[in-house]
Amino acid sequence: MKEAVGLACGLFIAALTNIGLFTLTSTPLNAGSQICKILNRPNNEKLYLLMPLGYPADDATVPYRCEDSTENVQHTPQQHNDMRKHLNNICKVYE
């Protein structure tokens, strides 16, 4: 079942991107049951993935992703600040 959910989510993300919406996917970790309770969902439903949706900021960029593991990557303070700015632009929330 998880594979079907993953495939459906991938297709949904592609469709969203096609119309200009973007998302950051996240797993609910141990908060799934609490989130379902807050949203008044029935007990037979299970939360697999969180997908907040929105339009990106005009100046939003995608941070550079290294192929090495994060333990092997060293960033200068300037690179760290630049990445933080990029992430802040991506994560802006509009009311």
pLDDT at res. 42 = 92
pTM score above 0.85: no
Alpha helices per DSSP H over 1-95: 2-18, 32-38, 77-90
Residue with tokens 């005009």: 58
pLDDT tens-digit series, residues 30-79: 888 888 888 899 988 888 888 889 988 888 877 766 555 555 556 667 77
pLDDT at res. 95 = 35
Decide if pLDDT at 90 tops 80. Answer: no
| φ, ψ at 6 (rounded to 5°) | -60, -45
The band of 94, judged by pLDDT with boundaries at 50, 70 and 90, is: very low
